[in-house]
Structure 1
Amino acid sequence: MASCFIAAIPVSSFTSFQHPRLVVVPQRASSRIRVHKPVQCLATSKLESESDDQTLVVKQTRRSGNYPPSIWNDDYLQSLNSVYTGEIYTRQAKCMKEKVRAMIENVSDQTMDQLELIDTLQRLGVSYHFVIEIEKILEKVYINRNDVTWKKENLYAVSLEFRVLRQYGYNVPQEVFNSFIDEKGNFKVYLCDDINTMLSLYEASYYSLEGEIIMEEAWQFTTKHFKSFLVDDDIDLNLAMQVRRALELPLYWRTSRVGARWFIDIYERSKDMNNILLEFAKLDFNIMQGIYQQELKELSSWWKHSGLGEKLSFARDRLVASFLWGLGTACEPQFGYCRSIITKVISLLGVIDDIYDVYGTFNELEHFADAVDRWDIIKAMKQLEICFLALYNFVHEMTYDILIEHNSDVLLNIKNSWLDLVQTYMVEDKWYRSGYKPTLEEFMQTAWKSVGALNVIFHTYLSTENPILQKELEYLKSDPDILYWSFSLVRLQDDLGTSSCYMHETVASEEVSREHINDRVRQIWKKVNGYIAEESTLSQTTIEMMLNLVRMSHCIYLGGVDGHGFSGFRYSRLVPRRASNSRIRKHKPLAMLKIESETVVRRSGNYQPSIWDNDYLQSLRSDYAVASYDLIVCFFKVPFVHFLLFFSEIAVNLYTFSHTENLETLSLQEEIYTRHAENLKEKTRDIMINNASKPLDQLELIDTLQRLGLAYHFNTEINNTLCNVYNKNTTDDIWKKGNLHATSLEFRLLSQHEVFSSFQEKTGSFKSWLCDDVKAMLSLYEASYYGLEGENIMEEAWKFTTRHLNNIDRDLDLILAMQDMNPILLELAKLDFNIVQALHQQELKDMSSWWKNYGLGEKMSFARNRLVESFLWTVGITLEPRFRYCRRMLTKVISLITVIDDVYDVYGTLNKLELFTDGVDSEAKWFHSGYKPTSEEYMKNGWISITGPWVGLLQAYLVEAKWFHSGYKPTMEECMTNALISIACPMLIVNAYLSAANPICEGIGISRKHS
């Protein structure tokens, strides 16, 4: 997965990526939610007795998470280079973009063509370039949705329309599938003969809502037949690959940027491939890859400078993994600052999590949480101080950035998000130390916060929204249901400890427990779909990033592999091993560290060191890199406060940077790629407008654009196409009649429920014959994930497709050759990918330098050094070039969270953690008293007071640390209530909002609605 921002897409072919210095094997994920590892006494400390001259031997055991070190060192990351960073590629991409736009605008009046074009743009990862065009198309599709001539008896078309429209927020009932259902309520058996139709229905089934029986039947129908299809000796190997991938994760659960790279390969071999779209997708991918690499370099420098990876060796060093989270959450170019924020938030979350989870004593964790609450430095373990100050610096830097850019003071909001997270960590720690085993519900009430997603999305919101609105800040503070259920999904994916809670509660086997958790995930997705349809407070950008964050959890923890804890997404130096699931927060040993006159045995996460060193990141080059690509907003380095305070010494360093535009002279080669990309975009737009005439063709084109990662270039065209498809449903459904693939694709893109009715039996089950069409099954499977709560048809669609897709041989390793590949789309997808990649590379360079200067990676060797991983978080959250500032800020947030998490989880004693938490909280006094300091007072003290989210996070960490040190085992509800904060997602969304919103409104925070 990390190769998505490392390896560019060749013009003629693709090459696989492998780290140049490592041969790696996958790691099994830990089966825990914040599971503490067994303690081991490694050494003793001696305290001299003044009364009797006797030596008092004190043993302080430290646990270890046995985390492997990071494989991404700073030198390697700084060496990343992309040829796509030049103006030549920018101009080429701009030219191709216009061609794709023309293609979209001139797409045929056939709804299927419009929907397929939108689907293609989305899959190619370039749909973000064409938001307006896509919206116009979809509006027409929706208006004409009663025209059923183009989709009549075409389940593929109906599914595609359903999926695409629902994906874009249109209210499409599950009853659109009624014509495909028999008298028993099952989908008609003959439908399974068309795998493409089944795939369309399968994909559409994931857009189901709670209570949608038809969509549930669609899922069951397609799943069942997919499983049967996979065991068939005469199956089409290409379709089998699509089915396996769909069963692994439906489109709805995948992020566009991560999935685009795979789909570009598939699309290039498709018989319907459009060269303009293909070329643009490649160029866009490579340009964005260059952007990601630059961002990763900068984040690597920041992480290295922070010293967290070096000084906190017990904690996970997962910068690259954190960056991948950010990349998946905000992948578009304009979200660079947001990706930076996410990466830093997740990196910091990892460190603080390990402090609470692994290393800190109960007193240290309490002190750390107290320091966050008071927002003031504490006299604690030096490692805890380093972690706290890394968090402190990050919060103040982000606060200052937002204050300068948006004239909004969000210090207290950000600080409180971190305090809430630390407090949830403390809750879970108390559970562990008390020996309490929570029920699944008790656990989830805390764990949905402790997973950190709330912190991430909080920072994401602040780094992307402009303006930052008061009502949105208050809404985020209220712990709305949409956040609770969304981040519960992150927690369920993050750890298999939830299955341990269920096993303890019900005495069920591990297999049964995991099946229960997997089914619960799917059902929660239906709830989330329903809340999304009703959401009116948060912007679409924030909602989409929230969903991307959840999707990244699916990708990172896919198949039970802990891609974050065990060194960056299946790249590992260690032999795979299963972690114990017998207890929550089980701790493992670490070598002792000597502090002053007292020797304390510290725990260790045994994290792998980062393989992304600053020198490597700075060496990244891309011809596709650009200074300004489409909607990229130039990032200005503004004056910010930078300081490091340690336990026995305080060093305050104020660095003031002048306002300088981060623009470079572009090479001729770079300019060529840019022009070529724009040219391909125009060709793609022309294909969308003129060449895709039938509804199914339109839907498939849209689906292709989405899968190739190109849909963002053609938002307007895709919306217009989908609108046309939707509007025509009232008069023309011939194109999808009996075509499950078309119906599923339509459903997924348009979210029209009733489109699957014709594929169901009277019993509500999908007709068995549908499973014979793997493409249709895959389409239905993907559509089923757009289901809402209560959408029985979409639930059935998911069950149906999952059941059948699982029967397809998973050991086949042949590349799917799409017969309808459009060379234009493929070329555009490659080019767009490379251009965006180049932008990200440059951002990574900047972040790597920042991290290196920070010194946390060097000074805190016990903590995770995960700059690149943190940057990946931000790229996922804010992918588009225009969110560069957001990526930068979120990368810093995640990296700092990782370190602080390690301080609480791994390193700090409870007493020192309490002091540390109090130290953080002390900075809130100005705000609690109602006094607003002047800018001179801010600078005199060497910082800008950012309080709220950080204090909340550390308090949550402290809560979990107290649980551990006291032996308390919280209930599932208690765990999830605290974990919602300790997961640190509020931190990320706050920072994301602050880095993107303008103006910024006050009052944001995180409450405990679900406590």
Structure 2
Amino acid sequence: MDCSKQLRNPQAEEQQIHQWQTKSELSAYSVHDQSRRSANYKPNIWKYDFLESLNSKFDGECYLIQMQKLIKDVKKLFVECKESDVIAKLELIDSIRKVGLNNHFEQEIKAALDAIASAELENNSNPCISSEGDLYAAALFFKILRQQGYQVSQDIFGRFMDEMGTLKKSTSGNVKGMIELLEASNLAFEGEDILEKAQAFLIATLRDTNTMWDEIDSSISKHVTCSLELSSQRRVQWFNVKWHIKAYEKNRTNQPYMTTLLELAKLNFNEVQATLQKDLREASKWWYNLGLTKNLDFARDRMVECFMCAVGLAFETDHKSFRKWLTKVINLILIIDDVYDVYGSLEELKHFTRAVERWDVMETEQLPECMKICFQVLYNTTCEIANETEEENGWNQVLPQLCKVWADFCKALLVEAEWYNEAYTPSFEEYLSNGYISSSASLIFTHAFFATKHEEGVDDSLHMNEDLVYNISVILRLLNDLGTSAAEQERGDAASSILCYKREMNVSEEIARKNIKSMIDNAWKKINENCLTRNPKISSSYINITTNIARVGHILYQDGDGFGDQEQGTRALIQSLLVEPLS
């Protein structure tokens, strides 16, 4: 499993791959050419020259100096906020988070929330949870404290609800409060029936009355639509920053700090975007130099989407190495998934899986040239990541752990290939027990672990986070199936969770999809509780990175297949996130 020899001579690596590529081009896939399947993926829309041209003027010292001044001004707001004005402090913290600035004010936010939590939960002395408090204040209090990992009970909403889980008439007209309560309800744990009933009522009510509010206030209507479509708990925070900045600009509140906050938020967005553009140019150069798209033309060429996913896990400027490694990993996940789903025969896939299990290039001798190249790139890239993470973060024995998760991933894909070849439809439970591994979430989790610093070892971390990783994996698997199953069924791919559920339960596709969405909701409740009751040795930042795997899944598969169809899926988001600065 030692890869030091290969890493010592990168020129030899490139020459070997180039020789294979040349040989592959000459053979033109002559072996079984006619029997290979095709997913008919469209060509990549993000061209190399365009990505190389990305360059931001906001990557300059003058903007950083301006940002530092504005950060000091916002820090003063925490001091100027009256101790008794709990709602004003909560709104300030909420605004900071929405416009993507919370990483600049972690100490101030913690100090403010420690004081609020102490006063509210111990003395019950402030208006947020006392009988005089209104729905908006209570929901905002609950949402922010639970988001930040504080113990807070759903019971604070009891006085607003009747026995049927309907809002009392005295509060049912409070639109701001209803929106906040809907957001708060998406932070529920299993068994929190007050929040569950409130959510069901609010979804039905807000859907029925949203058209009416559109006539009164379009900003409220858009906020309602956004919350109903996907709650903030299930969105990648950074992906929504631009939307929130523009919404605050259109609807200026009476808060005097908003002008300063928005000026800082826009500078911060543009500064982060400038960093991301540099990272993207590096990733694009790596991908271009590999030349895999010439030889693996059956696979998805989606480097920019892979980079976007890495940004979704960690956007902060100090996570440059993390994004570089994760972009490569997600690219390899896509390619290998297409090797198993589209290209390889069952016998070839068994050889490929054995090569990954044994981590041995010699095992690929009987494979087509393109699959040899694929394994060699996996081998070299994984060795590179292992070496760099050991050097940067002080880990030992990284490579065996990375090899294991790649082997588990390939074995799960092989099971699905065997099901396809045997025309076998597994039970839903059988499908999911394999599908949560083939979702690739645990593979991404392990790479993310080594890309960040921790007090505990990987074995301890995997054990402590076993439930969290499982539920994230289930969500990613089910979201993927909801978004891609129609296209996969059309081309005759292996059974998805929807088909397995339909056949086993003898129900329509509509009911199967509805019940699978309920399973995703239940998995999120478990994640919410996992995040709150996490081991104190594990940082909240790392837990957020891990949970973002599920959030990225929602973005990718919300409107179909975000990897397969670039135009319909992620183009607008990438344009906004990585190309267009804020004015």
TM-score bucket of the superposed structures, by smaller chain: 0.7 to 0.9
Aligned length: 525
The answer to whether the 8 A contact 1:69-1:567 is kept is no
Structure 1 letter corresponding to 2:480: D
Matched residue, 2:510: 511
Does the C-alpha gap of structure 1 residues 105 and 454 become closer, same or farther in structure 2, counting only changes over 3 Å? farther
Mapped pair 1:382 → 2:369: yes
The answer to whether the 8 A contact 1:77-1:296 is kept is yes
Matched residue, 2:98: 123
Deviation at 1:184, TM superposition (A): 4.0
Mapped pair 1:263 → 2:244: yes
Matched residue, 2:6: none
- CA-based RMSD: 2.4
- Using the alignment, how far apart are the partners of 1:115 and 1:479 within structure 2? 30
Q: TM-score if structure 1 supplies the norm length?
A: 0.50
- Using the alignment, how far apart are the partners of 1:427 and 1:207 within structure 2? 35
Q: What do the CA deviations read for 1:864-896 (whole angstroms, capped 9, x no partner)?
A: xxxxxxxxxxxxxxxxxxxxxxxxxxxxxxxxx
Instruction: Give the 5 Å matches for 1:406-417.
Output: 406-409=393-396, 410-417=398-405
Matched residue, 1:284: 268
Deviation at 1:564, TM superposition (A): 1.6
Q: What do the CA deviations read for 1:775-815 (whole angstroms, capped 9, x no partner)?
A: xxxxxxxxxxxxxxxxxxxxxxxxxxxxxxxxxxxxxxxxx
Deviation at 1:479, TM superposition (A): 7.2
Q: TM-score if structure 2 supplies the norm length?
A: 0.86
Structure 2 letter corresponding to 1:399: A
The answer to whether the 8 A contact 1:70-1:568 is kept is no
Structure 2 letter corresponding to 1:97: I
Instruction: Give the 5 Å matches for 1:343-422.
Output: 343-377=327-361, 378-379=364-365, 380-409=367-396, 410-422=398-410
Matched residue, 1:803: none
Deviation at 1:457, TM superposition (A): 1.6
Instruction: Give the 5 Å matches for 1:438-587.
Output: 438-466=426-454, 469-470=456-457, 472-476=458-462, 480-496=466-482, 497-536=496-535, 538-559=538-559, 561-567=560-566, 570=569
Matched residue, 1:307: 291
Mapped pair 1:149 → 2:127: yes
Structure 2 letter corresponding to 1:553: G
Deviation at 1:463, TM superposition (A): 0.8
- Using the alignment, how far apart are the partners of 1:59 and 1:303 within structure 2? 26
Deviation at 1:541, TM superposition (A): 2.2
The answer to whether the 8 A contact 1:85-1:290 is kept is yes
The answer to whether the 8 A contact 1:71-1:571 is kept is no
Gaps of at least 5 residues in structure 2 are 1-27, 483-495
Structure 2 letter corresponding to 1:525: W
- Using the alignment, how far apart are the partners of 1:183 and 1:570 within structure 2? 42
Deviation at 1:403, TM superposition (A): 2.7
- Using the alignment, how far apart are the partners of 2:539 and 2:436 within structure 1? 22
The answer to whether the 8 A contact 1:80-1:293 is kept is yes
Instruction: Give the 5 Å matches for 1:815-894.
Output: none
Instruction: Give the 5 Å matches for 1:646-725.
Output: none
1:435 aligns to what SS in structure 2? coil
The answer to whether the 8 A contact 1:85-1:287 is kept is yes
Deviation at 1:404, TM superposition (A): 2.3
Does the C-alpha gap of structure 1 residues 45 and 161 become closer, same or farther in structure 2, counting only changes over 3 Å? closer
- Using the alignment, how far apart are the partners of 2:36 and 2:128 within structure 1? 66
Q: What do the CA deviations read for 1:724-764 (whole angstroms, capped 9, x no partner)?
A: xxxxxxxxxxxxxxxxxxxxxxxxxxxxxxxxxxxxxxxxx
- Using the alignment, how far apart are the partners of 1:220 and 1:325 within structure 2? 31
The answer to whether the 8 A contact 2:393-2:450 is kept is no
Structure 2 letter corresponding to 1:249: L
Instruction: Give the 5 Å matches for 1:314-333.
Output: 314-333=298-317
Matched residue, 1:166: 146
- Using the alignment, how far apart are the partners of 2:33 and 2:564 within structure 1? 28
The answer to whether the 8 A contact 1:320-1:568 is kept is no
Does the C-alpha gap of structure 1 residues 370 and 201 become closer, same or farther in structure 2, counting only changes over 3 Å? same
Matched residue, 1:902: none
Does the C-alpha gap of structure 1 residues 131 and 498 become closer, same or farther in structure 2, counting only changes over 3 Å? same
Does the C-alpha gap of structure 1 residues 231 and 440 become closer, same or farther in structure 2, counting only changes over 3 Å? farther
1:243 aligns to what SS in structure 2? helix
Q: What do the CA deviations read for 1:429-479 (whole angstroms, capped 9, x no partner)?
A: 111112221222221111111111111121111112255x32x43432687
- Using the alignment, how far apart are the partners of 2:288 and 2:431 within structure 1? 35
Matched residue, 1:182: 162
2:435 aligns to what SS in structure 1? helix
Deviation at 1:487, TM superposition (A): 1.4
The answer to whether the 8 A contact 2:87-2:137 is kept is yes
The answer to whether the 8 A contact 1:296-1:323 is kept is yes
Deviation at 1:169, TM superposition (A): 0.7
Deviation at 1:134, TM superposition (A): 0.6
Mapped pair 1:82 → 2:56: yes
2:293 aligns to what SS in structure 1? helix
Does the C-alpha gap of structure 1 residues 312 and 80 become closer, same or farther in structure 2, counting only changes over 3 Å? same
Deviation at 1:194, TM superposition (A): 1.8
Deviation at 1:190, TM superposition (A): 3.9
Does the C-alpha gap of structure 1 residues 44 and 66 become closer, same or farther in structure 2, counting only changes over 3 Å? closer
Gaps of at least 5 residues in structure 1 are 1-42, 47-57, 574-610, 613-619, 625-829, 832-1011
- Using the alignment, how far apart are the partners of 2:157 and 2:64 within structure 1? 44
Deviation at 1:565, TM superposition (A): 2.1
Bigger relative contact order, structure 1 or 2 (CA pairs below 8 A, ≥6 apart): 1
- Using the alignment, how far apart are the partners of 1:367 and 1:62 within structure 2? 17
Matched residue, 1:725: none
Query: Higher helix fraction: Structure 1 or Structure 2?
Result: 2
Q: What do the CA deviations read for 1:52-80 (whole angstroms, capped 9, x no partner)?
A: xxxxxx77611111211211121111111
Structure 1 letter corresponding to 2:541: T
Matched residue, 2:412: 424
Deviates more, 1:504-513 or 1:131-140: 504-513
The answer to whether the 8 A contact 2:395-2:450 is kept is no
Deviation at 1:554, TM superposition (A): 0.8
- Using the alignment, how far apart are the partners of 1:565 and 1:104 within structure 2? 46
Deviation at 1:415, TM superposition (A): 1.3
The answer to whether the 8 A contact 2:36-2:342 is kept is yes
Matched residue, 2:77: 103
Structure 2 letter corresponding to 1:424: A
Structure 1 letter corresponding to 2:248: Y
Report sequence identity in percent: 34
Matched residue, 1:336: 320
Mapped pair 1:242 → 2:223: yes
Does the C-alpha gap of structure 1 residues 511 and 547 become closer, same or farther in structure 2, counting only changes over 3 Å? same
The answer to whether the 8 A contact 1:290-1:621 is kept is no
Instruction: Give the 5 Å matches for 1:669-818.
Output: none
- Using the alignment, how far apart are the partners of 1:44 and 1:204 within structure 2? 55
Instruction: Give the 5 Å matches for 1:38-49.
Output: none
The answer to whether the 8 A contact 2:219-2:251 is kept is no
The answer to whether the 8 A contact 1:493-1:557 is kept is yes
Q: What do the CA deviations read for 1:815-840 (whole angstroms, capped 9, x no partner)?
A: xxxxxxxxxxxxxxx69xxxxxxxxx
- Structure 1 segments (4+ residues) deviating >4 Å: 43-46
Structure 2 letter corresponding to 1:73: K
- Using the alignment, how far apart are the partners of 1:362 and 1:427 within structure 2? 10
Match of 1:229 among 209, 212, 226: 209
Q: What do the CA deviations read for 1:835-860 (whole angstroms, capped 9, x no partner)?
A: xxxxxxxxxxxxxxxxxxxxxxxxxx
- Using the alignment, how far apart are the partners of 2:393 and 2:188 within structure 1? 39
